Amino acid sequence: MTALQDTSTGIREMGVRAKAAGRVLRSLPTARKVEALKAIAAELRAREDEIVRANAQDVLAAQEAGLPEHMIARLRLDAAALRTVAADVEAVSRLPDPVGETTPPQTQSSGIQVSQRRVPLGVLGVIYESRPNVTVDVAALALMSGNAVILRGGKETVHSNAALEGAIRAALEAQNLPADAVQVIRDPARERMRELLRLDDLVDAIIPRGGAGLHRYCVENATVPVIVGGIGVVHIYLDASFTRDPADVRRATEIVVNAKVQKPSACNALDTLLIDRDALVALSDIAHALMENGVEVRADAEAWGALQDVGIAVTPTADTDYGTEFLALTASLKVVSGLEEALDFIAMHGNHTDVILTRDGAQAERFVQDVDSAAVIVNASPRFNDGGQLGLGAEVAISTQKLHARGPMGLRELTTTKWVVVGEGQIRG
């Protein structure tokens, strides 16, 4: 039976199985979880040919369907990428296990001792588009944090995800652990996703990972709590103090190019560059470098005119170019009169990752304090807003909401706490 045909297991039944598996994982010792992840990495390597062939089916189907190139790029999983995925699973196994962490007990006037213990969320529902590596990343993080997970990838990844699920479940079974700790919804019908979103008696949290449309659909249709993230406009503000030294101009150019070009389809890639009017000395170098790397540069009237004066032709911006997450080799430029205007602009359009390039410590601190985004970065590329780069290992998503988890969601963000109260027969008066 093919992945597309396997729709015999209903979503509610999957939830029941996940709940049962989660009870096993909840109390699993760290050593057992580590061994399970090592077994998954080994199984992925052993099934390399099978998984790569399945992915090739998905890529071919996506090309025939005319999917955008940035989605096809996210979809690809060749042998080298799969080996990296397996290594990432092993990296998660080496991370500190947050489950069981307990605060020092505090004795109250009644004599009871109270503490908080970190525990798994329970059952996660993760919904995402393209990127079959997410299937493995999320499974590894869920297992290490003691959670069961139901995964719903996009229809474009159905063969890849089926092959990856097979490897993960085989490894769990070989470790005498419940295979139902990781389940993939193989039916691509949107109705299955809607059923998952309403499974509030069995699923503890929904984590969507994809475009704005997916997030909006989840928020509007879920009865399960939704952790929103992964979308948002990324800004870099170039302060004049970072352009007074030619070496800093080179650094600023390198940072902007890395932010836009290194992985343009990523959610932490640059969308809008804000340039202090007194920093325009760096504009031509930055625009030229972006265009050399295939970036379509869209500039406001002032930046467009300044570039025209030095013989660099760029596209004038439209109103819709600000506040747009491009996910492609496109960037917008806007000249601002200083930090205050930059902060006002970011307050209107930002919430994901925002960067300041400055040599003024007071400006940097004001930016960090004032910008209300999931990650605020000083003098480095926004591409560092990533679970692996921030020391979390792999990540489930980058959350841009403010409840429970914000920014890259690693192991700790997949846990919660419960109160533990110990007494010696006390009653409340």
Query: pLDDT tens, 51-83?
Result: 999 999 999 999 999 988 878 888 999 999 999
389 falls within a domain: no
Residue 267 CA: distances (Å) to CA of 235, 243, 264, 355, 393:
12, 27, 8, 14, 17
Is the model's pLDDT at 2 over the cut of 60? no
pLDDT band at 117 (very low <50, low <70, confident <90, very high): very high
Chain-centre distance for alpha carbon 155:
20
427 falls within a domain: no
Mean pLDDT of 16-36: 97
Is the model's pLDDT at 29 over the cut of 90? yes
4 falls within a domain: no
Is the model's pLDDT at 6 over the cut of 80? no
pLDDT number for residue 7:
45
pLDDT number for residue 9:
66
Is the model's pLDDT at 298 over the cut of 50? yes
Mean pLDDT of 301-315: 96
Count of CB atoms situated within 10 Å of the CB of 190: 12
152 falls within a domain: yes
Token output for 344: 């006002």
Total length of the chain: 429
Of the given ranges (101-110, 227-236, 338-347), which has the lowest mean pLDDT?
A: 227-236
Rounded Cα distance between 355 and 260, Å, is 13
Query: pLDDT tens, 348-373?
Result: 999 899 999 999 999 999 999 999 99
Which spans in 99-189 are helix H?
133-144, 158-174
390 falls within a domain: no
Mean pLDDT of 412-416: 95
404 falls within a domain: yes
Token output for 122: 């329970």
Q: What CATH number does residue 272 fall under?
A: 3.40.309.10
Sole residue written with tokens 């006002």 = 344
Write the DSSP assignment of 305-326 as a string of letters. Answer: HHHHHTT---EEP-GGGTT---
5 falls within a domain: no
- Both 163 and 248 in one domain: the answer is no
- Both 152 and 257 in one domain: the answer is no
pLDDT band at 149 (very low <50, low <70, confident <90, very high): very high
- Both 278 and 312 in one domain: the answer is yes
pLDDT above 90 coverage of the chain, percent: 84
245 falls within a domain: yes
pLDDT number for residue 230:
64
pLDDT number for residue 3:
42
pLDDT band at 4 (very low <50, low <70, confident <90, very high): very low
- Both 196 and 253 in one domain: the answer is no
- Both 285 and 410 in one domain: the answer is no
Query: pLDDT tens, 161-206?
Result: 999 999 999 999 999 999 999 999 999 899 999 999 999 999 999 9
Cβ neighbours of residue 33 closer than 8 Å, sequence gap 6 or more: 25, 93, 97, 143, 144, 146
Q: What CATH number does residue 79 fall under?
A: 3.40.605.10
- Both 23 and 45 in one domain: the answer is yes
Mean pLDDT of 293-304: 97
pLDDT number for residue 396:
87
- Both 114 and 237 in one domain: the answer is no
- Both 203 and 237 in one domain: the answer is no
- How many domains in the chain? 2
Of the given ranges (119-123, 128-132, 417-421), which has the lowest mean pLDDT?
A: 128-132
- Both 371 and 408 in one domain: the answer is no
Is the model's pLDDT at 89 over the cut of 60? yes
- Which residue range forms the structural domain that includes residue 68? 11-230+397-422
Is the model's pLDDT at 218 over the cut of 70? yes
- Both 219 and 289 in one domain: the answer is no
Listed residue (19, 9, 172) closest to 89, CA to CA: 172
Q: Helix, strand, coil proportions of the chain in percent (round to 5)?
A: 45, 20, 35
- Both 191 and 314 in one domain: the answer is no
Cβ neighbours of residue 358 closer than 8 Å, sequence gap 6 or more: 239, 241, 242, 364, 367, 378, 379
- Both 165 and 126 in one domain: the answer is yes
